[in-house]
Amino acid sequence: MAPLRGCSGLLLTLTLTLPWALAPSPFPGASFFPHWDYCVLGAGPAGLQMAHFLGQAGRSYVVLERAAAPGSFFTHYPRHRRLISINKRYTGKVNSEFNLRHDWNSLLSSEPRLLFRHYSAAYFPHARDMVRYLGDFADRLGLQVRYNTAIVRVTLSKHPRAWNGHFFILTDHRGQGYQCSVLLVATGVSIPNEIDFLGSEYVEGYESVSIDPEDFAGQNVLILGRGNSAFETAENILGHTNFIHMVGRSRIRLSWATHYVGDLRAINNGLLDTYQLKSLDGLIEVDLKDIAVVKDSEGRLRITLPILVERADKNASAQAVPLPQDEVDNFAMRVPYDRVIRCLGFTFDFSIFSDTLGLAPGKGRKKKYPLIKASYESKGTRGLFVLGTASHSVDYRKSAGGFIHGFRYTARVVHRLLEHRHHGIPWPSLVYPITQLTNTIIRRVNEASGLYQMFSVLADIILLKEKATGFEYLEEYPIRMLAELETLTGREARHGLFVVTMEYGKNFSGPDKDVFHFDRAVWDVEDAWQSNFLHPVIYYYHCLPTEKEMASRAPGWPLPRPVAIHHIVEDFLTDWTAPIAHILPLRRFLENCLNTDLRSFYAESCFLFALTRQKLPPFCQHGYMNMQGLMGNEELRRHGIESGLMEDYSAIDEQPADQKPGDPATPVHPSQHATSIKEEL
Amino acid sequence: MMSSRLNIWIYISFVLICVFCKSIARNRNTLMELSPQEYFSILQTGKTSLVYFSQDVSLDITIFLEELKKAAGPLHNYGISVAKVNCAKEEASRYCGRENDWTKAYLFRGNILLREFPTDALFDVNAIVANVLFALLFNEIKYITSLEDFENIENAMKGKTNIALIYVRAIGTPEHRAVMETAFVYGTAYQFVLTTETALLEGIGAENSDVISGSLFFFHCKLVLDLTQKCQKTLLEQPLTILNIHRFLKLMDAPLLTEITEDPEKVSTIHLQLGLPQIFILSQENTYEMDKRTAEIVAWRLLGKAGVTLLLKDSSDLNIPAHINVIFKRAKEGVPVDFLVLHDVNSIISLVENNIPIQNNESVKEYEEGEMETLNLGVSNMIFSRINCGDWSNVCTKQNVTEYPVIKIFKEGEKPVIYTGMLETEYLLKFIRLNGISCPVKIVTIEEAEEYLNGELYKELTSYSSVSVLGIFSSSMIKEKENFIEAGKNLKGFVITGFYSEEDALILSKKYAVTLPALLFARHKEGNIDSILLSNSDAKDIIQIIKRALLGIFPEITVENLPIYLRLQKPLLILFRDDNLNHKDEKEMLPLVKQKYLETLIPCWLNVKTTPVGRGILKAYFKHLPPLPLLVLVDLHSQGQVSAFPLDQTINEKNILLWLQRLEAGLESHITTLSDEEWKPPLPAYNFLSRMDATVPYTEIAQFPIQNMLRCAKTTDLQQHDKGHSEDKLGKNSI
């Protein structure tokens, strides 16, 4: 769509700052509000990331941001200002894609200066550096953001010529309207989660509680919550309080045990240490609905049970309210508290979306997130996508989609899906000859950051060409949308496919499990399928799984049962380039799936095959027959002969061989002509 | 602060160099040696001077004095004289007296003492110049140690003055000196700020800067009017030398964006003068504001790397094609400007920043090293480098490299060329050498054409291309000539091509008895010239004609050239020899080859000495190695049959013909038939599915019958291969 159609090409190509907003809607009969094809709500990391992709593709878009600058969440949160996303500045490698595997803060761009390591030297950076980074990201890339624009209402307006049958009408706090074809919601989770219970009015919230440890000196503190914000708060005041008790419904989930970065990170878990080392601090498992807080005559807070409060007289003071210890005198929370702090996380702000949008909360633990499909599109409204932290319902407690290092990739997924849906641009792919199959997979599993961060959520898809002469490689496709791949990407999957993912062992980790158990590492290539640590897994299918098959996957399986599966054995260094342990088993797997021989050969071996056999292996067919191949030199030939890869033909003399005449001509065992595995790479 | 191991080493090396040097001069430019009386009279003139008072000259002091002598010249340029005052033994004034321990030098302005330096701090000429200027510029250069200090300065300078923040490893280093010398000139133009704290660098978000030697950041504070806003900063990406700093400051001072209406070819800008490219962004009246903003974005991002100018198209009378939106001008004089159509800011940026990181410090494998050496010998004007795509995958993707290894030739101003031939030194060398001339060559005189044909014109290249191709066209044959030029470009690197289309082309036509258009093939080895008529041939046809003409009539088959002959899809009649062709063979074979009868075959020969794999082939045919020479007919393309000329017969023209006729009539039996077996997986794979099923049967956890999952599979699980299910041909059917 080009609102300024008719202007010179120069204008359209050069002007990044085209004032789209001034252009009236190009759709006759539509509203008179300024129109954009894409509206992004929120200039946080996800919104800016999406804006960058849209800008790069030359799309009409705007980012609407309530605050005066990007990343306003980070101006206040985390309250104690230390980010728990790691800023690994050194990996010893120059591969920029690989380095993103260990960079949890940068957004994706081709600008090397916009890497977070240039913004902070701290392993766990200060939140202000994130604000500064996001500001630079928006500025340097010239992203179109309207600041100080708070959207207070989002409604639908049906229109037959709109991309999705309707427009999104946004209204800001000044009453100004905006019309968009596609709405990308990147507003994060901004509303502190509150639980209503008796006495909740006595509770202070994480969002406003003092962060000066001196304010807690000599106090008894009760913290409600079990997440990183609760522990971060505790960590800050640990040395000033008499003691801290922490209350939460479920048992503690340590991120190193669950591999989920949203669980309690080791950097915040000082209290666990002091609890178990008998230093008065402690954890208690109880549902917050089962407690009540009352104030005693001295103004201190007492924990009791709702049932006891209800029984007592409504106007009774705390002294009159029966306390659990009246009956059970060793009740754990019988001491009075000076403060009760609520650290229960955040919820998505549903309030601005009109009911007609059908943007409903998820179920159970996911109710803080809007319900969306694995394509990040709302289940209720076509054309409404959720990005960033708010999109975490797709992989909550599984992968990294709720965090910058995960959602920077899922934003790209959404962008690619939209490019195909609305602009006819198929999912980007590269076509290779089949001889490059092993190489290509090895390269990706060793460097791809999207597969690594969004393990079990995003996968590379290899679509085979007819007769498996070549393949098309699609990167980082949402694995749960596999059944709809053809319609969503515009690519054909008629001749079979491989799916490349990264996975942890199925039964390895979890809140109760000992992830440090002896013999946890799998070394033997034959046991690769039992690998525990993150490792590459390759699925082979003859055809795309159907939606029904996707829906009825076996528990723990990201995909339906494949025709064949291969695990590349876990590696301590996450370096899967070992010729014998990693590459050879992979090549054999691929060969057996495709029923062909994928080895590489010296030109001399191809020459021999060309004159002694009617058919050539793919490598010779693709390379040698096109006048390409490794001729090498005398040294290389000697190496080939010494390592048993080639026969020393000059040593063949004129002695008749023992073979019976009439045997079918089988020259030398073909394996003897394979170049070494190293040379194959 | 200033004693580092490095400095000590500099010190020691100076000891070695300078210990024997001795010279005394009275020139102002050098170290003055004065008596105390002479000296005090100089002080009265009010000049600035650095003075060392000396009595006995010990070894340590000699070194210092040598350095002091070296510093005299540079300091004189700043109006500072340097003197050594020889105190008499009996002298007892303040500086010459006992209390002076001879380990200090003094800086005076007039007769006021500004600073005293321990001679340790003045450990070499750089340290002397740096320290003296630093002392004199005390007010101009702020030395700071914390981020807070810097933020205060930054805030104070907003809207007023730009800041040059310099980090140096230590005081007295060559970098420090370079900065001081520059500051002496620019001191009032900018606020210079100096630090030696790396933590401060990190604080301003610049950990990637050079902490080994030093770095300079230019903070654009003058533009900042909003006090809450940070000043933009630009890093000097070169080492800190006077020249680099001077150049950098000049660039920072240049206007961000200029506007012109003149011809870019004729414009000279400060960037071009400093050897940097200039980008002209074309704008017209109705898009002026937006183009200007775009240009500003580009200018900010290219600050210090290229100049950006807005070219106002409407007000100029230049004849620029309508669709062009960017003009790129290089600093090199005489290089024409590029007219470009670019669709976003990033493509403009990459015009300037598109430099490829090249990795050449890694130890090169022995094999490659050998090859490189040979190539280096053959091609002296080319740099060979390797890129490891495993490390630089983004670079390789940008270069569209998807298979490895790939060889690409980059030449300034030309499109990169991909080498598509065998990885073999001679072939590559040939390709590189033949790429050196612009094919096809335009020949303009009859004499030149003759030189071209007899191999004189490209004498040094005829060993790489034993055939030179000349297309002859009359001047009116424009379309034909264009086709030939296209074909010649396509064959560039593989064969020398040239064309002649002058008025007198008929002279050549007559001489070589061809009608035009025609191709002449000059075969330099054989010394003959054949001709082929070109009628209605498009570029593709011409390429085919040339390729065919390059094939020998009785070629030697080698590993490198076999594919060319296999493409002809004819049976090969191969004469296996264990040496070169001899006269007798040629006498028998050549007349035979020219016979029509053999047109359905490719007669060729193979030397098992130079192509030892030929023995392997013979062994495959005969199960043992038969005596040579031996004639074999290999029919690869229909039945795969191999027949051998009877060993007990003499190889001569008559017998061969007879044998071929008997073969055709089915009277001769084949010695073997080549296998038509497919290339199957050499070994089975691990069957992880069955291993998993053995632990937890899938049927137990499945919520869906497995058969449905495999509905598009014709038979059962492929990985049952290694279980020995021989009926399993699934892979073949399904892919």
- Return the SS3 of B310: strand
Given a cut of 80, is residue B650 above it in pLDDT?
A: yes
**How many Å separate Cα B238 from the centre of its chain?**
19
Give the mean model confidence (pLDDT) for residues A246-256.
86
CB A145 within 8 A of CB A138: yes
Cβ of residue B165 closer than 8 Å to a chain A Cβ = no
Could you tell me the pLDDT band of residue B517, with boundaries at 50, 70 and 90?
confident
CB B51 within 8 A of CB B102: no
State the Cα–Cα distance between residues B402 and B405, nearest whole angstrom: 9
CB B491 within 8 A of CB B546: yes
- Judged by CB atoms closer than 8 Å, whether chains meet at A566 and B688 is answered as yes
Cβ neighbours of residue B291 under 8 Å, at least 6 residues apart? A10, A11, A14, A15, B281, B282, B283, B284, B310
The residue written with tokens 């990169």 in the block is B416
Indicate if ipTM > 0.85: no
Which position has the higher pLDDT, A574 or B111? A574
Percent of chain A with pLDDT over 90: 59
Give the mean model confidence (pLDDT) for residues A598-623.
92
Could you tell me the pLDDT band of residue A316, with boundaries at 50, 70 and 90?
low
- Judged by CB atoms closer than 8 Å, whether chains meet at A117 and B682 is answered as no
Q: What is the pLDDT of residue B8?
A: 32
Which position has the higher pLDDT, A9 or A618? A618
Mean pLDDT of chain A: 86
- Return the SS3 of A30: coil
Could you tell me the pLDDT band of residue B647, with boundaries at 50, 70 and 90?
confident
pLDDT, tens digit, 9 for 90 and up, residues A572-582: 888 999 988 99
Bridge partners, residue A295, by sequence? A301
pLDDT, tens digit, 9 for 90 and up, residues B295-339: 988 898 888 888 999 998 877 777 777 778 888 888 777 777 778
Cβ of residue A428 closer than 8 Å to a chain B Cβ = no
State the Cα–Cα distance between residues A287 and A285, nearest whole angstrom: 7
Given a cut of 80, is residue A586 above it in pLDDT?
A: yes
State the Cα–Cα distance between residues B418 and B399, nearest whole angstrom: 11
Using an 8 Å CB-CB cutoff, list chain A residues near B624. 654-657
What amino acid is encoded at B481 in this protein? K
Cβ of residue B679 closer than 8 Å to a chain A Cβ = yes
Q: What is the pLDDT of residue A115?
A: 94
State the Cα–Cα distance between residues A433 and B414, nearest whole angstrom: 28
Give the mean model confidence (pLDDT) for residues B46-53.
85
State the Cα–Cα distance between residues A33 and A171, nearest whole angstrom: 10
Given a cut of 70, is residue B563 above it in pLDDT?
A: yes
**Which of A10, A110, A679 is the best mutation test for B, with the most CBs of B within 10 A?**
A10
Cβ of residue B629 closer than 8 Å to a chain A Cβ = no
Cβ neighbours of residue A5 under 8 Å, at least 6 residues apart? none
What amino acid is encoded at B232 in this protein? Q
Output the DSSP codes for B321-388: -TT--EEEE-SSTTPPPEEE---SHHHHHHHHH-----B--SPPPHHHHHHHHHHHHH-TT----B--
Given a cut of 50, is residue B728 above it in pLDDT?
A: no
The residue written with tokens 């049976």 in the block is B571
Cβ of residue A593 closer than 8 Å to a chain B Cβ = yes
H helices, E strands: number in chain A: 19, 22
Q: What is the pLDDT of residue B15?
A: 28
Question: Using the 8-state DSSP alphabet, how is residue A107 labeled?
Answer: P
Give the mean model confidence (pLDDT) for residues A330-353.
92
Which position has the higher pLDDT, A80 or B464? A80
Give A460→chain B minimum CA distance, Å.
16
State the Cα–Cα distance between residues B498 and B511, nearest whole angstrom: 18
Helix spans in A43-102 (H): 45-56, 73-76, 96-99
Give the mean model confidence (pLDDT) for residues A273-282.
78
H helices, E strands: number in chain B: 26, 27
**Which of B346, B494, B679 is the best mutation test for A, with the most CBs of A within 10 A?**
B679
Q: What is the pLDDT of residue B211?
A: 63
Could you tell me the pLDDT band of residue B706, with boundaries at 50, 70 and 90?
low
Give the mean model confidence (pLDDT) for residues B15-38.
50
**A493-522 residues touching B, CB cutoff 8 A:** 495-496
**How many Å separate Cα A308 from the centre of its chain?**
46
- Judged by CB atoms closer than 8 Å, whether chains meet at A588 and B685 is answered as yes
State the Cα–Cα distance between residues A162 and A441, nearest whole angstrom: 41
- Judged by CB atoms closer than 8 Å, whether chains meet at B688 and A567 is answered as yes
Tell me which chain A residue has its CA closest to the CA of residue B419.
Answer: A628
Give the mean model confidence (pLDDT) for residues B121-136.
89
Which position has the higher pLDDT, A156 or B476? A156
- Which helix (H) or strand (E) segment is A459 a member of? strand A458-464
Q: What is the pLDDT of residue A405?
A: 96
**How many Å separate Cα B72 from the centre of its chain?**
44
Cβ neighbours of residue B689 under 8 Å, at least 6 residues apart? A561, A562, A564, A565, B698, B717, B719
Which of A221-230, A401-410, B97-106, B340-349 is predicted with the least confidence, judged by mean pLDDT? B97-106
pLDDT, tens digit, 9 for 90 and up, residues A384-393: 999 999 999 9
Give A544→chain B minimum CA distance, Å.
9
Q: What is the pLDDT of residue A679?
A: 36
Which position has the higher pLDDT, B672 or B63? B672
Which residue in A174, A118, A146, A119 sits closest to A51, CA to CA?
A146
State the Cα–Cα distance between residues B217 and B190, nearest whole angstrom: 12
Q: What is the pLDDT of residue B98?
A: 57
Of A432, A447, A628, the CB nearest to B420: A628
Q: What is the pLDDT of residue B247?
A: 85
The residue written with tokens 């917050």 in the block is A288
Rounded to 5°, angle at Cα B217 from A127 and B174: 130
State the Cα–Cα distance between residues A380 and A357, nearest whole angstrom: 6
Q: For the CA atoms of chain A, what is the radius of gyration?
A: 30
The residue written with tokens 């039996």 in the block is B669
Helix spans in A433-521 (H): 437-447, 449-453, 485-489
Cβ neighbours of residue B619 under 8 Å, at least 6 residues apart? A652, A657, A667, B625
pLDDT, tens digit, 9 for 90 and up, residues B207-251: 666 566 788 999 999 888 888 888 888 888 888 888 888 888 888
Q: What is the pLDDT of residue B367?
A: 37
**Which of B613, B692, B725 is the best mutation test for A, with the most CBs of A within 10 A?**
B613
Using an 8 Å CB-CB cutoff, list chain A residues near B704. 548-549, 552, 560
Which position has the higher pLDDT, A315 or B361? A315
Which position has the higher pLDDT, B705 or B599? B599
Give the mean model confidence (pLDDT) for residues A356-378.
92
Which two structure tokens, joined as six digits, stand for B145? 């140690």
- What Å distances lie between residue B265 and B123, B273, B332, B339, CA to CA? 51, 14, 12, 11
Give the mean model confidence (pLDDT) for residues B280-302.
88
Which two structure tokens, joined as six digits, stand for A276? 């178990």
Which two structure tokens, joined as six digits, stand for B634? 């290999």
Cβ neighbours of residue B710 under 8 Å, at least 6 residues apart? A542, A563, B716, B717
Using an 8 Å CB-CB cutoff, list chain A residues near B422. 603, 627-631
Half-sphere exposure of B334 (CA within 13 A, CB side): 0
- What Å distances lie between residue A512 and A64, A248, A455, A507, B718, CA to CA? 43, 17, 21, 11, 38
Cβ neighbours of residue A241 under 8 Å, at least 6 residues apart? A216, A217, A218, A219, A220, A221
User: Rounded to the nearest 5°, which phi and psi values hold at B340?
Assistant: -130, 155
- Which helix (H) or strand (E) segment is A181 a member of? strand A177-185
Which two structure tokens, joined as six digits, stand for B567? 């493409």
**How many Å separate Cα B370 from the centre of its chain?**
20
Give the mean model confidence (pLDDT) for residues B407-423.
82
Helix spans in A34-126 (H): 45-56, 73-76, 96-99
Could you tell me the pLDDT band of residue A192, with boundaries at 50, 70 and 90?
very high
Give B433→chain A minimum CA distance, Å.
19
CB B46 within 8 A of CB B109: yes
Give B731→chain A minimum CA distance, Å.
5
**How many Å separate Cα B217 from the centre of its chain?**
29
Which position has the higher pLDDT, A402 or B79? A402
Q: What is the pLDDT of residue A152?
A: 95
Cβ of residue A14 closer than 8 Å to a chain B Cβ = yes
In degrees to the nearest 10, what's the CA dihedral of A612, A614, A615, A619?
40
Mean pLDDT of chain B: 79
Cβ of residue A110 closer than 8 Å to a chain B Cβ = yes
- Return the SS3 of A175: coil
Which residue in A63, A349, A71, A66 sits closest to A178, CA to CA?
A63
Given a cut of 70, is residue A246 above it in pLDDT?
A: yes
- Give the neighbor-by-neighbor strand order of the sheet with B338-340: B258-260, B307-312, B278-283, B326-329, B338-340
Cβ of residue B17 closer than 8 Å to a chain A Cβ = no
Question: Using the 8-state DSSP alphabet, how is residue A579 labeled?
Answer: I
The residue written with tokens 């990391």 in the block is A45
State the Cα–Cα distance between residues A205 and A343, nearest whole angstrom: 6
**How many Å separate Cα A415 from the centre of its chain?**
15
* End-to-end Cα spacing for chain B: 72
Given a cut of 80, is residue A413 above it in pLDDT?
A: yes
- Judged by CB atoms closer than 8 Å, whether chains meet at B688 and A565 is answered as yes
Across B110-162, where does the E strand assignment appear?
112-118, 141-143
Using an 8 Å CB-CB cutoff, list chain B residues near A655. 624-625
Strands B467-472 and A177-185: unpaired
Q: What is the pLDDT of residue B25?
A: 34
Give B327→chain A minimum CA distance, Å.
13
In degrees to the nearest 10, what's the CA dihedral of B679, B684, B689, B692?
-170
State the Cα–Cα distance between residues A53 and A164, nearest whole angstrom: 21
Q: What is the pLDDT of residue A314?
A: 60
Give the other-Cβ count within 10 Å of B379's Cβ: 16
